[in-house]
Amino acid sequence: MIQNIEAKTDEELVKLALEDSDNFRYLVERYEEKIGRYIRRISMVSNEDVEDLLQEVFISVYRNLNDFDSGLKFSSWIYRIAHNKVISRWRKDKNAPKVLRSEESLEIFNIMEDKDDFFAKLVQRDDGKEVYKILNTLKLEYKEVLVLKFLEDKSYLEIADILKKPMGTIATLINRAKKQFKEIVERENLNNKLQ
């Protein structure tokens, strides 16, 4: 049994896992909640499917441990693997539910409240029921950047590493996601409804 696991860095845990597969449990335990939540937020699948996806993600992480590049944050690397698994699952199963759960949508807007005036106004006037429906009409890549930015609280650099896109592109995607959201609100005349 390894002592003081909490004090160990991700990189140290990777080395330990490579020395002995039993040590891989520390990485699983450190990330299962975060990755599970992330999968839930972007994939909108059932809890059972989240469990399956989580298992796939961690097996893939284990297989590819030697590919982990210390120039990258381990969390970005594991989020990237989770993102890829969700995308391939989503491509395989076109019938998967694509609706964000309302509490998650509300969470996005609660966080956005602090960060963006436009979203703040919306959240102040609505319990989120109308708003989360609109969020679900966004393209996956838009929804994903919003989740990573506002729910997972990732920096632009981390989002760029996770989605394997240039930072400038990430900034553009976030802006477009917000813009598209605003357009839908205006088209649906949601502003008036909310008043």
Contacts with other proteins by CB under 8 A lie at 18, 21-22, 24-25, 28-29, 32, 51, 54-55, 58-59, 62-67, 69, 71, 160, 164-169
Q: How far is the CB of 35 from other proteins (least distance, A)?
A: 10
Q: How far is the CB of 57 from other proteins (least distance, A)?
A: 10
Q: In angstroms, rounded to a whole number, what is the distance separating the alpha carbons of residues 123 and 109?
A: 6
Which class for 103: exposed (0-12), middle (13-18), buried (19 or more C-beta within 10 A)?
A: exposed
C-beta closer to other proteins: residue 111 or 167: 167
Size of the chain in residues: 195
C-beta closer to other proteins: residue 18 or 184: 18
Q: How far is the CB of 116 from other proteins (least distance, A)?
A: 26
9: three-class secondary structure by DSSP? coil
C-beta closer to other proteins: residue 62 or 90: 62
33 contacts: CB under 8 Å, gap ≥ 6 = none
Q: In angstroms, rounded to a whole number, what is the distance separating the alpha carbons of residues 122 and 190?
A: 9
Q: How far is the CB of 28 from other proteins (least distance, A)?
A: 4
**Rg (the chain; Cα; Å):** 18
C-beta closer to other proteins: residue 97 or 166: 166
